Amino acid sequence: MTETSSNPSTEGGPPGRIGIGLELDATHLKILEVLRENGRISVAALAERVGISRANAYTRFEALRADGAIRRFTAEIDHTRAGLGITALIFVTVRQQMWRQFRAELAQMPEVEYCAITTGQHDAMIQIRVADVAAVHTMVTERLANIPAVKATETVFILDEVIRRPYVLPSDRGPGRPPRRSAPAPAQEPVPLGKLGFVGAAEGRAGLGKE
């Protein structure tokens, strides 16, 4: 169960621990690559595509699952075909020390696909999928605004989703070499970078974890 493989491929990052459980070697990553594209592939076919025996594939597959590296298997759907063609982001400012309530209320809202606590100007970002723009308005003004924990909101619409990957892996960078850009502008810095995150995040943000 506890592997002690050579682990040669996880490229030139810091040699520190990458988690508490299983150490992922190149084969594990390859399995995750295949599973990302086809989560319903049989373990037999998986073994073939990765280049290992079936028995080995079963062992590693089960290890990844048991260790929690693979959380679960799921599908990817076309939201418009499900009748939820409108996607919006809602940035929320949360009243301090009301995080518990905020989380509880949020769990009651089925249209929320994603919610993350962030640094920066706002405290949380919510992504919702609804049928029409009116539903966004309803969601924000009638459901979110009625939560005492919500101090302020700001909404933007998503016009297009350019990239949507189930997950990224260290091996996506290729084993070692950094991916080259097509615009080889070497030494200049013409871009205002804005602040890098921690603005306004210092105020009373103690109990974030699960509060």
Partner DNA sequence: GTTGAAATTAGTACGAA
Partner DNA sequence: TTCGTACTAATTTCAAC
Among positions 38, 44, 82, 113, the unique one binding DNA when judged by CB under 7 A: 44
Taking the CA atoms of 191, 176, 34 and 49 in sequence, report the sign of the dihedral they define.
positive
How far is Cα 129 from Cα 79, in angstroms, rounded to an integer?
8
- Pick out residues in 5-24 that bind a second copy (CB under 8 A): 10, 13-14, 18-19, 21-22, 24
Q: Is 38 in the site for DNA (CB under 7 A)?
A: no
Q: Is 58 in the site for DNA (CB under 7 A)?
A: yes
Please choose, from the candidates 60, 149, 167, the residue with its C-alpha nearest in 3D space to the C-alpha of residue 103. Answer: 149
Among positions 50, 94, 111, 139, the unique one binding a second copy when judged by CB under 8 A: 111
Q: How many CA atoms lie within 13 A of 105 on its CB side?
A: 17
Cβ at position 72, least distance to a second copy in Å: 5
Considering beta carbons, is residue 59 or 171 the nearer one to DNA? 59
Among positions 11, 38, 53, 66, the unique one binding DNA when judged by CB under 7 A: 53
Q: Is 104 in the site for a second copy (CB under 8 A)?
A: yes
Among positions 50, 63, 106, 139, the unique one binding a second copy when judged by CB under 8 A: 106
Angle at CA of residue 94, ends 91 and 97, nearest 5°:
155
Cα→Cα distances 203→33, 72, 118, 124, 207, Å = 40, 36, 13, 14, 11
Considering beta carbons, is residue 57 or 88 the nearer one to DNA? 57
